[in-house]
Structures are given as structure tokens and as C-alpha cells.
Amino acid sequence: MKADSEGNYKELKAFALKQGIALFGVAKFDPEEARSLLSDREGNDLPFAISMGVRLSRTVLEGIVDRPTLLYQWHYRQANYLLDRTAFLLSLQIQDKGARAMPIPASQIVDWKCQRAHLSHKHVARLAGHGWIGRNNLLVNPRFGAQVRYVTVLTDLPLKVDEPVEGDCGDCRACVEVCPAEALGSMPEEYDFHRCFENLKTFAREHRIGHYICGVCVRACPGKG
């Protein structure tokens, strides 16, 4: 295994960007902080977390007014495929270098009652320098806002580590004003999971969406572009 952490970082980043990834960063992985439900066998003992983000289409998001559209549903699925496929391919590359790698699915639920996944991609993305947690409870990137979806690969391949970035929502309240469930407030901690989730269940049932998605607070948050 190469101990060249800078070289490994550059190589993996170049590969990810070629696949269509817009944001690439690395964080030290602390399972407790990322609220990980994994065991050591599944990757909790891996010290680095690679966070990758794919940018969503502004044109697709513009079609969303107060509920998800069928076009957004398809776009959401394609974004997840791209993230999962890139995480899969990157893990094989890492394995070829003699290291361990665990790709964590973009959107797989482990605990349906509490709506919990293996770990928090938002948390890893924040530590890897992709942005801050905004009023919409999402990871807000300075350039692309909340219009990015994320995936994580855990690994023991030596890698350069990024730093979190400074930033906040300032005076903006765009997402708070448009949320159809009134589930958002001034601080991310005010996000009302139950209000949001009940609304998403209705969308999934009544509008042929079939997934727990919405997109209204994503559309409201485009970043600086």
C-alpha cells in the first residue's frame, strides 16, 4: 500500500471527477460523531471517510413549486445511481492498491422506524469541507447550496485530510418560507422530522412519487452557482 497520502488523494479525486462527481473531500472518520450503525467488521475501524457530492440539475429543480415532480423523482434516482456506482468503482481502485474500502449507499435505510442509515453523509461532508448545515437541515455548499447529493467511502488507504469550511446562512430564510410542512425554523435543530416525514409520505402516496422525497427546500437553496 502506498503511504503517499497526497498522491493517493490526487489520484482518487481525479478518478471521481472523471465520473461526474462535483465535490471530493476527505475527513477523519469518527463512528460516534457520524452516528454510525456499522460494526468494525463493516468499516467502523477505518480511519478515513471520503465524501463525494454530485450536483443536481437546476432545470429539473426549477420544475418544483410546492411538491416533488416525476422528473425530480427520476433525477433523484439517477443521482443515487451515479453516487453509488462511483463509490463502488472507487472502492475497487482502493482495493487494488492493497487497502480496505467500504462504500456506504447514498440512500439506504437501516432503521425504518427512526429513519436512520448506516451513517450520516451530511456529517462526513461537513467535516470534509463541503459546507455547513443550513436552516433547511441540509448540507449547504457555498457554490451549489443544498443542490448536491452525497456518498461516503470509508477506507484505511492513507489520505490527506480536508478541513471544514466557515460559512452560514446569513439573513437568508428562503427555505423556511417555502417549506409546505412548516417543518423548518431559524436553526437547523428546529427541523421538525415528523412534520416533514408526514408530508413526504403523502407525496409518495398521492402523487405517484413512490419515494420519500420533496425537493422544495433543495430548490430554494441554489448557492452562488
Walk across the sheet containing 48-55 and list its strands: 23-28, 48-55, 148-155, 101-104
- Residue from 23, 159, 213, 220 touching ligand B12 (CB under 6 A): that is 213
| Contact between 221 and ligand SF4 per CB under 6 A | yes
- Residue from 145, 151, 153, 158 touching ligand SF4 (CB under 6 A): that is 145
| Contact between 87 and ligand B12 per CB under 6 A | no
Residue with smaller CB distance to ligand SF4, 29 or 203: 203
* Contact in structure between 56 and 149 (CB atoms under 8 Å): yes
Grid cell locating 55: 450536483
* Contact in structure between 162 and 29 (CB atoms under 8 Å): no
| Contact between 204 and ligand SF4 per CB under 6 A | no
Smallest gap from Cβ 207 to ligand SF4, in A, equals: 13
Residue with smaller CB distance to ligand SF4, 35 or 201: 201
CA–CA separation, 147 and 139 (whole Å): 9
Strands (E), the chain: 23-28, 48-55, 101-104, 109-111, 116-117, 132-133, 139-140, 148-155
| Contact between 131 and ligand SF4 per CB under 6 A | no
Instruction: Give me the phi and psi of 202, to 5 degrees please.
Output: -65, -45
| Contact between 134 and ligand SF4 per CB under 6 A | yes
Residue with smaller CB distance to ligand B12, 116 or 207: 116
Q: How many CB atoms lie within 10 A of CB 133?
A: 19
Residues in 174-193 that interact with ligand B12 by CB under 6 A: 191, 193
- Between strands 101-104 and 48-55, the pairing is unpaired
Grid cell locating 49: 471517510
- Residue from 16, 102, 179, 209 touching ligand SF4 (CB under 6 A): that is 179
Chain residues binding ligand B12 by CB under 6 A are 35, 76, 106-107, 109, 115-117, 120-123, 136-139, 146, 148-151, 191, 193, 196-197, 200, 212-215, 217-218
Q: Which residues bind ligand SF4 (CB under 6 A)?
A: 134-136, 140, 145-146, 169, 172-175, 179-181, 183-184, 196, 199, 214, 216-217, 220-221
